Amino acid sequence: MEGIPEVMKMAEIIVPVLTPFNDGKINIELLKEHTSSLLKAGVDRIFVNGTTGMGPALSPGEKETNLKAVLEVTDKVIFQVGSLNMGEVKSLAREGKELGVKTIASYAPYYFTGLPKSLIVRYFKEICGEHDEVYLYNYPSAVGKDVDAETVKEIGCLKGVKDTNDSINHSLQYKRVNPGMKVFNGADTLVMTSIATGLDGTVSAAANFVPEVLVEIRRKVSEGKVGEAMKLQFMVDELVSLAKGYGYIPSIYVLVKGIRGYDVGNPRPPLFPLGDVERKELLDKAIKIMEKYNKNEA
């Protein structure tokens, strides 16, 4: 196995890219501009139609629209295809293959509780039948079920997992039980820890608004400058905690415009955009947090 610094240097920063809407319709140009900006900032791959991208609220056509827009900018894409319609899931998986997408992903069937493990196993095996590189997007608190390391072993065909989990140990179990599998953690608060523990990287919504900071965390960790990496992580933690107070996904649109300086449209109801007063309040507080850390006052 490569030396620890090498493993950390290779850790990927993957962004679950937001979906820019104007008047309820996807603004393709804004999505392309945002994608391009994040790649320039050092993000390694774009996770399309994730949670932050409002994936569960998108039609199959809109999921395709997002994919095609991002493919105009880069092929470094993970195409999330999950939905509660197996036919649509398989059709999107085939579409991804036809468009040359290297990796697709899916969350488990959500909302329906009490599903036997055999049904979850079958769901992912059916997707694997349509594409040769399928990742699990494991998000127990949103999906209502945990597709754990042993279940992934039983599924047998998954090549990676994005585990949105506050427990880094939960993510590490995928590595223990399924050697060779790519494992990423999806919690914004575990960017540094994910890289430092030898996971394959992070999938962080915060990469939409502070991509350079996440790239810097990776650099500091790989150079052994843990204290400096920790400070940057704490700044991200405070920004994320602040944003969650206003509604995380709608706040991300405001933070991208306020911090990165370009428009990314709005979220689509029922994720209602922030009002003018909230937008100003959020941005004022976010700038103060960043200034505090940049002046080393933290």
Ligand X SMILES: O=C(O)C(=O)C[C@@H](O)[C@H](O)COP(=O)(O)O
Residues lying near ligand X in the complex (CB under 6 A) are found at 16, 47, 50-52, 139, 141, 162, 164, 186-187, 203, 205, 248
- Return the number of the residue (186 or 265) whose C-beta is nearest ligand X: 186
Residue in 137, 139, 248, 253 annotated catalytic: 137
Q: Residues with Cβ < 8 Å from 62, sequence gap 6 or more?
A: 19, 26
Task: Judge whether 52 is annotated as a binding position.
Answer: yes
Given phi > 0 = left and psi -120 to 50 = alpha, else beta, which region is 105? beta
CB of 70 to ligand X, least distance (A): 14
Catalytic residue among 145, 159, 162, 175: 162
Of 186 and 273, nearer to ligand X (C-beta) is 186
Residue 148, Cα to own-chain centre: how many angstroms? 18
Strands 21-22 and 25-26: antiparallel
Q: Is 203 annotated as a binding residue?
A: yes
Nearer to ligand X, 87 or 111 (CB): 111
Which residue lies nearer to ligand X by CB, 56 or 228? 56
What are residue 138's DSSP bridge partners?
163
CB of 186 to ligand X, least distance (A): 4
State which residue, 52 or 66, has the beta carbon closest to ligand X: 52
8 A C-beta contact, residue 41 and residue 211: yes
Closer to ligand X by Cβ: residue 4 or 84: 84
Question: Which contacts of 281-287 are long-range, i.e. CB under 8 A and separated by 24 or more positions?
Answer: 281/246, 282/242, 282/243, 282/246, 282/251, 282/254, 282/255, 282/258, 283/254, 283/255, 283/258, 285/242, 286/239, 286/242, 286/243, 286/255, 286/258, 286/259, 287/258
Half-sphere exposure of 54 (CA within 13 A, CB side): 24
Residue nearest to ligand X (CB): 50
Give SS3 for 71: helix
Whether residue 137 lies in the annotated active site: yes
Q: What minimum distance in Å lies between the beta carbon of 160 and ligand X?
A: 13
Q: How far is the CB of 204 from ligand X (least distance, A)?
A: 7
Give the shortest CB-54-to-ligand X separation in angstroms. Answer: 9
Per DSSP, 257 falls in state I
| Rounded Cα distance, 9 and 221, in Å | 8
* Prior bond of 269 cis (ω within 30°): no
Tokens linked to 272: 């209602």
**What's the min distance (Å) between Cβ of 255 and ligand X?**
13
Binding-site residue ranges: 52, 203
Binding-site residue ranges for pyruvate: 52, 203
Active-site residue set: 137, 162
